[in-house]
Amino acid sequence: MISHAQKSTHTVVQKIDGLTMVAPPRPFNSDPMLEIAEVNAGWIALVPFGFTRSGETDVKFGSDRQWWGERTEGVEDCIQRAHKAGVKVMIKPQVYMHNDWVGHMDFDTEKKWKKWEDSYRNYIITFAKLAADHKAEIFCVGTEFKLAAKKRETFWRSLIKEIRTFYKGEITYSSNWDGYQTVPFWDDLDYVGLSAYFPLTNDKTPSVDDLIKKWRDTKKTLKKLSRREGKPILFTEYGYMSIDKCAWRAWEIEKERHKLPINEQAQANALEALYSVFWEESWWAGGFMWKWFPNGMGHEGYFDKDYTPQGKLAAKTVAKWFGSE
C-alpha cells in the first residue's frame, strides 16, 4: 500500500466504482451482491449510523433498536458477503442529527467539546477496529462536520493517527461540497473526500451537454484542490433523485419530492454528465453513488423518486460506466 505521505495526485489506475448500500433492517434472505453485480459495481460503502441531537454531546450507536445492518454484526456480514463476491468495501460511520445537520454542530465550552470528542472517538474507533479486523479497504473517519472539522483540527489529527496504528487500509474524510476549503487535515489522509452534491441547474430535465458545461468551473477548482493537497479526489457521496430539477440543490428538493414529478431521464442525464466530466481524469479516484437498497430492503417511501437507480433508466448508465473498468 502507498502511504498517505507518499500518495500523489496521479496514482489512480482503476476507478472506485461504488454504491452506498443502505443498511437493511434485518438479515438478508438472498444474496444482495447478485443485484449489485448487474450494474458492475466493484465497491460498496457501508454506513453504520450514529445518532445525536442538537446541543447534545453523546453519539449513540449499536442499539438493539437500530436496524441490523447498522449494528456490528450486520456490518461484518455485509463485508464478508462483499469480499466473497470480489467487491471492495468502504466503512463510513455517519452521524445523523435529529431535526438538524451535523455541519451546524458547535459547542460553547471546551468541556462540551471534549465530551463530544470522547463519545465520537468511541463510535469511530469501534468501526475502525471492525474495518481492520475484516480488512475493509477504505475507512471514512467522519462526514460533513463543517464546523467541527474547521475548529477541532488537533482532535481529528489525533484520531486519524490513532486509527493508523492498527488499520492498514486507506483513510478519508467526507466534506460537504461547500466545506472542503476549510478542512485543515487533508494532508493526513489518503483521499480528499467530498459529498459531491454540487448544485448545477434548476432545469427540470437538463441535457447531458448542458450539465457538462455547468460542471466546468467546479472541475477546474477540484483539479487545483487535488494538485494543492497532493491527493486524489474521492466522491464519498454523489447522486441524483429521479425527479424534476434533480441536479439542483438536493437538500431543498428532497423536501419537495412528494410534489415533484418522477423524471428518470433527468437522473440518467445527471449521472451520464458526471461520469463524462470526471471518469478520465487521473486525479479523480471515483466514488460511491447514493444509494442502493439491497433486495429492496430499507426503503421508507418514494422509491420511484429516490436516489437509487434500481429499475430506472439510470441503471443502464451506471452499468455502462462501471463496466468500462
Report domain extents, the chain: 16-200+217-240+278-298
Residue 170 has pLDDT above 90, yes or no: yes
Q: Cα–Cα distance between 255 and 239 in angstroms, integer?
A: 16
Mean of the per-residue pLDDT values for the chain? 95
**Which pLDDT does position 12 carry in this prediction?**
63
Q: What is the pLDDT of residue 298?
A: 80
| pLDDT given for residue 119 in this prediction | 98
CA distance 111 to 113: 5
**Across-strand partners of 173?**
192
pLDDT, residue 3, reads 43
| Mean pLDDT, residues 6-33 | 83
Residue 299: the pLDDT is 83
Residue 6, pLDDT above cutoff 90: no
| Average pLDDT, integer, range 54-68 | 94
Topology of the domain covering 16-200+217-240+278-298:
TIM Barrel (3.20.20)
pLDDT (mean) for 247-251: 97
Interval 165-186 mean pLDDT: 97
What contacts 24+ positions apart, CB below 8 Å, involve 149-155?
Answer: 149/173, 149/175, 149/179, 149/182, 149/183, 149/184, 149/185, 150/179, 150/182, 150/183, 150/184, 151/106, 152/113, 152/117, 153/184, 153/185, 155/117
* Beta-ladder partners of 160: none
Yes or no: say if 295 and 34 are a contact pair by the CB < 8 Å rule.
Answer: no
Asked if pLDDT for residue 2 goes beyond 70, the answer is no
Amino acid letter, residue 82? A
pLDDT at res. 146: 94
For residues 189-217, average pLDDT:
98
Partners of residue 306 on adjacent β-strands: none
pLDDT band at 1 (very low <50, low <70, confident <90, very high): very low
The pTM score is 0.95
pLDDT above 90 (res 8) = no
Q: What is the CA 86 to chain-centroid distance, rounded?
A: 20
Confidence bin at 5 (pLDDT 50/70/90): very low
